[in-house]
Copies of this chain bind each other. A is one copy, B any other.
């Protein structure tokens, strides 16, 4: 897992746990019914929003986002540059076998379209639609996380209101008001915790991963179209140089 993600999750949960354990009434924070209301209500409302298929699909998207280690843009530019050089010297058909050495399906499929001699418009249309599809898949994942991040605090609040109503209705013993209100607040705590330590960060993480992946695929598409058009490899590198931060660019010879 990306080091930042691991540190982040440990830090958030750890600090909150520390605050709880070093204070009074730590046992109040472990409340089964409260957890069931918040987690169950959140999952229930989320299942109404999305079909089963989508929910399972998102598990895959989340796993890929947490553990996937993608290619480096710089390496891809290098790869495209050598393909461009080869094509200019030996023609497009010489790239016929190159696709098998490329681990990325989008890259190799696109290369095959170029080698097959498809029209530039067709290649761009097919690749662009694929990129849109990738964006849409990630987007549903982020939406599902955002939905859970909205419902968790909502059900936390519903749980607290239920607890308050129950406490106020039977407010006979003054010494029990405190502990009853404490328990009522625990669902709010769970809702806010799950939302801010788990769901909402995942939304941003999925959006960031999606942007990275889309940017990389756009890089590949631009490069393949450039090879298809027969651009000078130096122009290709210049066109693609915007995809890497200035400090990392290979020399931009003119």
Report A's interface with B, CB cutoff 8 A.
2-5, 7-16, 18-20, 22-25, 28-29, 33, 36-37, 40-41, 43-52, 54-55, 57, 105, 109, 112-113, 116, 118, 122, 125-126, 129-130, 132-133, 136-137, 140, 143, 147, 150-151, 154-155, 157-159, 161-171, 177-179, 181-182, 185-186, 188-189, 192-193, 195-197, 200-202, 204-205, 208, 211, 215, 235, 238-239, 241-243, 245-246, 252, 254
- B residues in contact with A235, CB < 8 Å: 118, 122
How many chain copies does the complex carry? 5
- Are A188 and B161 CB-contacts (below 8 A) given A15-B44, A44-B8? yes
- B residues in contact with A243, CB < 8 Å: 129, 133
A11 and B44 contact, CB distance less than 8 A: yes
Q: Secondary structure at chain A's binding surface: helix, strand, loop or mixed?
A: helix
- Are A51 and B4 CB-contacts (below 8 A) given A20-B162, A171-B178? yes
Q: Closest Cβ of chain B: how far from A171's Cβ, in Å?
A: 4
- Are A41 and B15 CB-contacts (below 8 A) given A169-B178, A185-B168, A188-B161? yes
Q: From A150, A171, A202, name the one whose CB has the most chain B CB atoms within 10 angstroms.
A: A171
A196 and B25 contact, CB distance less than 8 A: no
Q: Which of B23, B41, B45, B197 contacts A45 (CB 8 A)?
A: B197
The 7 closest A-B pairs by CB, nearest first: A25-B169, A8-B47, A11-B44, A12-B44, A171-B178, A48-B201, A49-B204
